[in-house]
Structures are given as structure tokens and as C-alpha cells.
Amino acid sequence: MSYGSFPPEPGRRRGTLAIVLVALIPTCFVGWLLWSSLGRSQDDGAGGTGGTGGPTTSSTSSPPPPSSGASAPPAPSASSGEPGKPGAPGKPLEGKVVVIDPGHNPHNRDHPSRIARLVDIGTEKKECDTTGTATNSGYPEASFTLDVARRARTLLEARGATVRFTQDGDRPYGPCVDERAEIGNKAHADAVVSVHADGAAAGERGFHVILPKSVRGGGADTSAITAPSRRLGERLRGDFAKATGSEPAQYIGDGSGLDVRGDLGGLNLSTVPKVFIECGNMRDSQDAAELTDTAWRERAAGGIAQGITDFLNE
């Protein structure tokens, strides 16, 4: 812009500049206010954009949650459920074979001639089997032994054992005593327990464990099993007493609860550790009250299972 053809005087030039500056300052201030107000209105809008056109963020905002597709480390599990790993259930009898021999058979009474025939037990000949005894009210020993044996099987299998029966009420009679022994032998059992209840005189109470005597003759040779069978019997005696609260019978042997016999085919013909347990006297009213009680039979099964477990974990 030209002011004329002549330059202005110095004094007039300074006055003119001052006037221009005074006029510009309010204009600039008003412009700044308008720009600032417009910027704030954009920043305060939901989903608005800033001066760069990008999404607005706040320094106080929480970080966004991870996307649902993101992989995160799994939370620790209380139990893996896998054998051999922390939290896995205990299997103290894994790989062990146990044979349980429920004494007699509920159907034996229907086959008297068959169970009466004689079989060779090595040292002599004896009946194939018998009907067993019963309480005065008619509860059969054969029913008792099956019930306790099945309960013990459940406990032992839960600990990892392979459990086999000589009979499970699924045979017309027997098996005979020589076959009962052979079942344990063929299974290569680590332990065999034959479950029974006694039929002594009324007033005689308690349980006892029958151990094999060292015998040789015919097909019988117990020399290799007498020592481990005694250990099995001792474990069984202690754990059965603890589980049931029963006392060892005083009417048999020396009152220790252990009785050694050489006239039982199931023991004479065994080549693996084996014992009998007479859980009580069915002909005594006090013992009979326990033997016929479901809760007591569960405890009896627990004592038998624990005795076997302790023996196999020696």
C-alpha cells in the first residue's frame, strides 16, 4: 500500500503505527476467544475429534479390556484329575491283584449232593463246600459274606486294585474249595482273603483270622506262603479291630485273634498269600446284631480293605 509520493514525517509515522497496533490488539483477542471456544466444543462432544482428526483420549481413562479372542494363560486348577500329577486321586494299589473269596454260596443248599462230594486238598479229602451257618433269625452266612466282599471290592478298586471274586452269587453252587484256591493261583494274586462268619456256641464272641499251616503232601505245599500270609493276617487283625471295634475271639486258639490250621483246602492248595477271616459269631445274639447291621458291615469291609492295603504297601 502506498501512502503518497512523499515519505511521511517521523513524528506522524510513529503516531500512525500506535493507532494501528491499538486497533489490532482487540481484534486478535476476539479471534483467539472464538478459536478457543470452537476447539472446546469439539473436544467435549461424544466421539468427537481433536485438531488432528484422530479419536480423543483422556489421560485418566482406564485401558480397554482385552478382546474376547485374545489368548490368556489358564487359571490354575485345584485338581488335574490325571494319575501321577498334583491333585490326582491316590492309587496305592495300582497294579496289584486281589482275590476275594466270599465263603460258601447262597445256592449251595439247593445242591446238597454236589457240594457233599469229596475233593483232594493235598493232605486229605474234604467236602467240595458247605452251606455255611446262619443267625438264629435265619440270616445266612453266604449272604453276609457276599455283601461284605462286594463292599470291600468297591473300596479296593477305588485304590487302584484289580479285584477278582471266586464267586459273586452267579453260580449254581460252589465253587469247590480246591477251585477256590486255584482261582487265586491262576490270577497270580498279591493277596487273597476268604470272608466268613463263625457258627460257634452262643455266648462266644469276637472275630479271628485263620492262617495257613506249613504243610506238604499231594498237591499241597504252603512253605512259600506261610510267612507272607501271617503278615497279611496280622495286618487284617489290627485294621479289622480298629474299623469295627470288635475284639479278637477268646474261644479260639490263644485269644490273639490268629489261628493256624492245616485242614482247609482253600489254604493248603494256595500258592499265593491267603488267609480266612471269621468276622464274628452268627450264633451269638450280640455278634449277630452287628453282622446283620448294614453300617457295621460297611465298617467290616473297610477293615478288610485297609488290612489288604497295608499288607501290600509294606
d(CA 143, CA 154): 17
Q: Distance between CA 298 and CA 240 in Å, rounded?
A: 11
DSSP class of residue 110 equals G
Residue listed under C-alpha cell 455283601: 147
| CA-based nearest residue to 51, from 63, 36, 64, 66 | 36
**What three-state secondary structure class fits 136?**
coil
Q: Are strands 208-212 and 274-281 parallel, antiparallel or unpaired?
A: antiparallel
Detail the DSSP E strand segments found in 65-215. Answer: 97-102, 118-120, 125-127, 162-165, 191-198, 208-212
- Cβ proximity of 106 and 175 under 8 Å: no
Contact 134, 289 (CB under 8 A): no
Catalytic residues: 278
- 3-class DSSP state of 210: strand
| Residue 109 DSSP one-character state | G
Structural Rg of the chain based on CA atoms = 46
